[in-house]
Amino acid sequence: MKKFSSFLRFLLGLLIIASLAGCAGTHKTESTGEYLDDSVLTTKVKTSILGDSKLKVMQIDVESFKGIVQLSGFVDSQEAAERAVRLARTVKGVKQVNNSLIVK
């Protein structure tokens, strides 16, 4: 009975270690915490852009990965694209902004 109990503890320990390792991120994938942080970051950038009357938020898509924000979509002028990038850079937690906005 003691061997069975020790074996169960060993298996439980392996299961816990495997579960925690599954939450870790790599350079190509995000950990659970990084995913949540990026979701909040994306929301903050979208809110910042939405609050600006000179930008049309529905034309600008925002994605985040490990603190790097990607802006894509269409804007009416180069000034609008630069404004969106400036607004995104002011959000706390943004490490870098990649501008893929297209002027129509």
- pLDDT tens sequence across 8-52: 777 777 667 656 555 555 666 777 778 888 999 999 999 999 888
Model-wide pTM > 0.85: no
Give the pLDDT confidence score for residue 79 in this predicted structure: 92
Structural domains of the chain, with CATH: 27-103 (3.30.1340.30)
Strands 68-75 and 96-103: parallel
Q: How far apart are CA 49 and CA 80, in angstroms?
A: 10
Give the pLDDT confidence score for residue 83 in this predicted structure: 94
